Amino acid sequence: MGPVSDSEPDDGLDGEPEYRWPIPPPEGWAADDLDRIPGLPPHTELIDGSLVFWSPQTRFHSRCMRLLENALLEQAPDYLDVIREMTIKLDIRNRPGPDVLVFPLEANTGPKRTWYKPEDIVLVVEVVSVDSFERDRDVKPRKYAAAGVRHFWRVEQDEDKGLPVAYVYELDPATKSYALTGIFHDCLKVTVPFDIEIDLTTINRRPGPPR
């Protein structure tokens, strides 16, 4: 791990000590540093050796992740698992944290695990936010594809209806790039990586049995 700042903290406006952000080494941070740097905010990612911090999430983003995670958990075959906001160690300089991941059960190696290998990932889902627009549309998909992640969904908010729109991609193994296989409004229905049908209009509906 590279050096971190060891200067004395100043008092902030509210009298609390200000957090001193870690100082990166000249070559940038490495993937394993995410587990070693003290005091990092939750869900910090590593992109090209630089730390990327999450902005406060919108209600749409949070509810969309909930909808997708619950639907995928309900419909996934027994040999697959689904989890939110875990990182993938793509290489030494890249460890992004997708919004939702699907992977084989055997990839779970224990409760203290903080990352997964790209070869274990069946599906990656990114829900686009204002601050992540460029990363989710361009930077991260290119990196997922180069690492061999087979299926990728990008989910955005429809400006008129306010509902999710899902852009579904599949990896072309010859070019190591993604091909768009469908754009889904209202209902996302696909047969790979397994049979999935998600009613996107239920984003604001609370999960659970009908009353």
pLDDT at 19: 64
Q: Are 92 and 27 in contact (CB under 8 A)?
A: no
Alpha helices in 29-161 (DSSP H): 59-75, 133-134, 140-146
Give mean pLDDT, residues 100-113. Answer: 95
Give the pLDDT confidence of 157-186 residue by residue, as tens digits. Answer: 999 999 999 999 999 999 999 999 999 999
Q: From CA 138, how far away is CA 142, in angstroms rounded?
A: 6
**Of 11 and 3, which is predicted with more confidence?**
11
Give the pLDDT confidence of 29-53 residue by residue, as tens digits. Answer: 999 999 999 989 989 999 999 999 9
Number of residues assigned to the chain: 211
Distances (CA, A) of 10 to 3, 18, 100, 173: 20, 6, 38, 52
pLDDT at 17: 64
Query: With 70 as the cut, is the pLDDT of residue 100 above it?
Result: yes
3-state helix, strand, coil in the chain (%, to 5): 20, 30, 50
DSSP result, 146-168: HTT--EEEEEEE-TTT--EEEEE
pLDDT at 56: 85
Taking alpha carbons only, the member of 131, 148, 137, 41 closest to residue 91 is 148
Pairing of strands 45-47, 50-52: antiparallel
Q: From CA 43, how far away is CA 99, in angstroms rounded?
A: 10
Distances (CA, A) of 166 to 36, 41, 130, 177: 35, 28, 16, 18
What does the block give as tokens for 151?
């299926």
pTM for the model stands at: 0.87
Task: Tell me how many degrees the CA angle 198-199-203 measures, rounded to the nearest 5.
Answer: 110
Q: From CA 123, how far away is CA 191, in angstroms rounded?
A: 13
Instruction: Name 180's bridge partners.
Output: 169
Architecture label for domain 59-202? Alpha-Beta Complex (3.90)
